[in-house]
A and B are shown apart, each in its own frame.
Chain A
Amino acid sequence: MLEIHDLHARLTDGREILRGIDLSVNAGEVHAIMGPNGSGKSTLAAVLAGRDGYEVNQGTVTYLGRDLLAMPADERAREGLFLAFQYPVEIPGVNNMYFLRTAINAQRRHRGEPELDAGQFLRIVRAKLKLLDIGEDLLQRAVNVGFSGGEKKRNEVFQMAMLEPRLAILDETDSGLDIDALKMVARGVNQQRAPDRAIVMITHYQRLLEYVEPDRVHVLQGGRIVQSGDKSLAMELERRGYGPVEDAA
């Protein structure tokens, strides 16, 4: 589903953040990318989602057989790539429901499907809310405005559930959450596990992985993946920290 080969990326000021990432993610898999602060985790997520401000100076990314880097950010999303933001953006004046319906209908148009009317949309919303145990009041407010940290992350997971992506990238969705919110996020991710869908969780801590069992764990350090393994790698990291991994590499 996702093939990253020798990916290098730098900021517009010239600082190179990604220095040769190789990663292969297949449909049905859940991958965890772990690493210390400043290792390039969020940059990788931003480059995959198509955020401005980064320059890819080497390497390729293939998504569902297409050149991902050639697509604008909105087209990537319509093609089923979803990024759960580490810091969801507050958008005053844009109602959460209206925003989501616009997003879903943009995707449906892209796929040649009929748009959802307000009634159809609401029925799907209610079903998903129930599944995730989220209150409906969240949807009547402006996008993320005045939301607590936990509410913002719930809103990200809810959007993921609504948009049903092919590839979901969760950028530190677990950071700053109390245990209840963390469990909710984990439940949301587990519900999304499906044979035709891949999930990439970017995280600093091993904590989320207690609730969502990854198929593969990668350690990102200094802009490269320095070690890959199964879930036992995450537990090992928890025990001895990131330092020795670098030595081992």
Chain B
Amino acid sequence: MSAVVDFPVKPEARPYLEAFGRDRRRGDPAWLRGYRRRSLARFAELGFPSRRSEAWRYIDLRQLEQRPMLPTARPTPVVTSALATQLAEIGLAEPSYRLVLVDGKFAPELSSLDQLPSTVRLGSIAAAIAERPDLVRSALEAQSPDRPFASLNAAFFAGGFVLDIAPGIALERPVEILHLAAGDAAGALYTRSLVVAGQDSRATVVESFAGSGDYWRNDVIELRLGAGSELTRVTFVAEGVDALHFGETLARLDEASRLSGFVLLAGGRTVRHDVTVRSEGAGSRCDLNGVFLLSGRQEANILTTVDHRAPGGETREVFKGVATGHAHGAFQGRITVRPGAQKVDAHQLSRNLVLSPRAAIDTKPELEIYADDVKCSHGAAIGDLDEAALFYLRARGISNNEARRMLIEAFAQEAVDLIEQAPLREHLRSRLTRRLATLEE
């Protein structure tokens, strides 16, 4: 059937409108149905972002335009050996509260939530929509109307999780969210999630993404940090070789809260990791660090926007990029200090290694400062491995390949080492090492 609509529609949005028309969504409450329709209309109006738009200039959307990746109605997933392998590759060795999503859907048989204290709620977004509609609704409505893929996500999301930590609670074990993809049919996976860190709470959330097959993952998450709370959020993207992964994070930081973000982009054909942090309360601190490791024809784009709307905020960013083969990486880091946000202290560093003549990395720091009493700085560098260091290692008998790997690892590990929790740091280090073993093959 073809949808009858009374709003402007970009041609690339048509197949999505038709898919929406076919989708009955019987379980949705009326408010959500309305919200989805409005979001779809917004997407139809916006269409795909143009490559002329600054935020999308480094990602090639042509293949997505030529071949729409529509949401697939997938059956309840069966636990296969492929899924078990994905789990083993990305899962933490240390004890965790684990929630597994397969094709976006909550898989209780793979999850372990029974040890979770009663002061912490963790479950699927579907359950939260039924049980706590106001919470979900407020999160959905916080979304910016100018992001086409987030609007598309709002129209179609079926899975995702909600984590809600009561004020004053310190969770010792990490909360682990494993996003798997079963890879039966080509299609899109839309997940929508929310983390609420209550006042003075403390928690660590590790999100890992893996999959096989031909899929487009579109993941949107909001992080709400209450006053004085501390949230560590680690993202590990190890998607399948053909996968597209677009992840968008909106974090809102209340007074004296602290967000420590780390991302490792290691797998997927095209990966976009977009984080917006709004420092809304005075004296908040935000650490954003990360690494991308790219080879073959991979492309990855890390975008960070830290918006200091309140005084006394602190931001520290360290991003490392490595590209070889024909890969293309980009880092875009914007820090905005609004009028009145005095005493903000922000520093950003982007360092990159380009290891082959056909690989490329773009780095683009942007500081926008509208307050006069602030400390803001950035540094960016793109280069090759240090020849003198390489010779020194080889002069001790270490083969050229191994010497290169050691130097690349040392380079990337500098960002991983900023993770404060030792077991988590080791987990990411070992994933980094594993990725590097095949990077230059």
Chain A residues near B389 (CB-CB < 8 A): 89-91
Query: Taking the complex as formed, is B402 at the interface, i.e. its CB lies under 8 A from any CB of chain A?
Result: yes
Tell me if A110 is interfacial: C-beta within 8 Å of chain B.
Answer: yes
* Residue numbers in A under 8 Å from B413 (CB-CB): 93
Q: CB of A181 within 8 A of chain B?
A: no
Residue B399 interfacial (CB < 8 Å): yes
Residue B407 interfacial (CB < 8 Å): yes
B397 within 8 A of A: yes
Kindly state the separation between the CA atoms of A52 and B414 in the bound complex, as whole angstroms. 28
Q: Does residue B166 face the partner (Cβ distance < 8 Å to A)?
A: no
Among the listed B391, B396, B400, which residue makes an inter-chain contact with A99, where contact means beta carbons less than 8 Å apart? B396
Question: Chain B residues with Cβ under 8 A from A192's Cβ?
Answer: none
Which of B394, B406, B407, B414 interacts with A72 by CB under 8 Å? B394
Cβ-defined contact, A77 with B394, below 8 A: yes
CB distance from A196 to the nearest CB of B (A): 18
Pairwise interchain contact B397-A110, C-beta atoms closer than 8 A: yes
Q: How large is the interface on A (under 10, 10 to 19, 20 to 34, 35 or more residues)?
A: 20 to 34
Count contacts on B: residues with CB < 8 A to the other chain: 23
* One of A52, A107, A143 near B391 (C-beta < 8 A): A52
CA distance A74 to B404 in the complex (A): 12
Report B160-210 residues with CB < 8 Å from chain A CB: none
Q: In the assembly, what is the distance between CA of A57 and CA of B248, in Å?
A: 59
Say yes or no: A94 contacts B406, CB within 8 Å. Answer: yes
In whole angstroms, how far apart are the Cα atoms of A89 and B392 in the complex?
7
Asked if B396 contacts A77 (CB within 8 A), the reply is yes
A66 within 8 A of partner (CB): no
Check A91 against B397 for contact (C-beta < 8 Å). Answer: no
**Which partner residue on chain B sits nearest A80 by CB separation?**
B397
A241 at interface by CB-CB < 8 Å: no
B411 contacts A by Cβ under 8 Å: yes
Enumerate A63-114 residues with CB–CB distance to B below 8 Å: 72-74, 77-78, 83, 85, 88-94, 99-100, 102-103, 106-107, 110
- Is A125 in the interface zone, CB < 8 Å from B? no
Considering the complex, give the chain A residue whose CB is closest to the CB of B417: A93
* Cβ contact within 8 Å between A91 and B396: no
B88 proximal to A (CB < 8 A): no
- A107-B411 CB under 8 A given contacts A52-B391, A89-B389, A102-B402: no
A159 interface residue per 8 A CB criterion: yes
Q: Is the CB of A107 within 8 A of B407?
A: no
Separation of A102 and B398 alpha carbons in the complex (Å): 7
**Would you call A157 an interface residue if the criterion is a C-beta within 8 Å of the partner chain's C-beta atoms?**
no
A126 touches B (CB below 8 Å): no
Chain B residue with minimal CB distance to A46? Answer: B391
Cβ of B107 under 8 Å from chain A:
no
> A-facing mask of B376-412, CB < 8 A → 1, else 0?
0000000000111101111111111011001101110
Query: Which of A89, A92, A102 has a CB less than 8 Å from the CB of B388?
Result: A89
Which of B394, B397, B406 has the most C-beta atoms of chain A within 10 angstroms of its own C-beta?
A: B397
Within the complex, which residue of A74, A93, A159 is in contact with B403, where a contact is CB–CB below 8 Å? A74
CA distance A74 to B406 in the complex (A): 15
CB-defined contacts of A73 to chain B, threshold 8 Å: 391, 394-395
* From A74, A94, A159, contact of B394 by CB (8 A): A74
Please measure, in the bound complex, the distance between the C-alpha atom of A102 and the C-alpha atom of B393, giving whole angstroms: 9
Tell whether A49 is near chain B: CB-to-CB under 8 Å: yes
The 8 A CB mask of A144-185 against B (1 = contact, 0 = none) is: 000000000000000100010000000000000000000000
Asked whether B397 lies within 8 Å of A83 as measured between CB atoms, the reply is: no
Give the complex CA separation of A103 and B399 in angstroms.
9
Whole-angstrom distance between the Cβ of A88 and the nearest chain B Cβ: 7
Q: Which residues of A contact B407 (CB under 8 A)?
A: 91, 94
B405's nearest neighbour on chain A, judged by CB, is A102
Query: Does B395 contact A99, Cβ atoms closer than 8 Å?
Result: no
B397 touches A74 (CB 8 A): yes
A88 contacts which of B386, B387, B392, B411 (Cβ < 8 Å)? B392
Q: In the bound complex, do residue B398 and residue A93 qualify as a contact, i.e. CB atoms below 8 Å apart?
A: no
CA distance A107 to B413 in the complex (A): 26
Known contacts A74-B394, A89-B388: does B410 contact A106 (CB below 8 Å)? no
Quick check: B393 and A99 within 8 Å, CB to CB? Answer: yes
On chain A, the residues within 8 Å of B392 by CB distance are 85, 88-89, 91, 143
Contact among A72, A78, A91, A110 with B393 in the assembled complex (CB-CB below 8 Å)? A91
Is A78's CB under 8 angstroms from B397's CB?
yes
B410–A93 CB distance below 8 A:
yes
User: A-facing mask of B136-168, CB < 8 A → 1, else 0?
Assistant: 000000000000000000000000000000000
Residues of B within 8 A of A163 (CB): 396-397
In the bound complex, residues from chain A placing their C-beta under 8 Å from that of B411 are: 93
Known: A89-B388, A89-B389, A93-B413. A107 touches B406 (CB 8 A): no
On whether the beta carbons of B402 and A106 are closer than 8 Å, the reply is yes
Which A residues are in CB contact (< 8 Å) with B409? 93
Measured between beta carbons, the chain B residues less than 8 angstroms from A142 are: 410
Find chain B residues with CB under 8 A from A99 CB.
393, 396, 406
A77 to B395, Cβ gap below 8 A?
A: yes
With contacts A91-B410, A94-B410 known, is A103 near B397, CB below 8 A? Answer: yes
Q: Which residues of A contact B388 (CB under 8 A)?
A: 89
Q: Are B387 and A52 in contact (CB under 8 A)?
A: yes
A93 to B411, CA, bound (A): 7
Chain B residues contacting A91 (CB-CB under 8 Å) are: 386, 389, 392-393, 407, 410
Interface pairs A-B: 7 shortest CB-CB: A93-B410, A77-B397, A103-B396, A89-B392, A74-B394, A78-B397, A73-B394
Contacts beyond the supplied A52-B387, A93-B409: 9 A-B pairs with Cβ under 8 Å:
A72-B394, A77-B395, A89-B388, A89-B392, A91-B392, A92-B414, A106-B396, A142-B410, A163-B396
20 A-B pairs with CB atoms under 8 Å apart are A49-B395, A51-B395, A52-B391, A73-B394, A74-B398, A74-B399, A74-B400, A74-B403, A77-B396, A77-B397, A77-B398, A83-B395, A91-B410, A93-B414, A99-B396, A102-B406, A103-B398, A106-B398, A107-B397, A110-B397
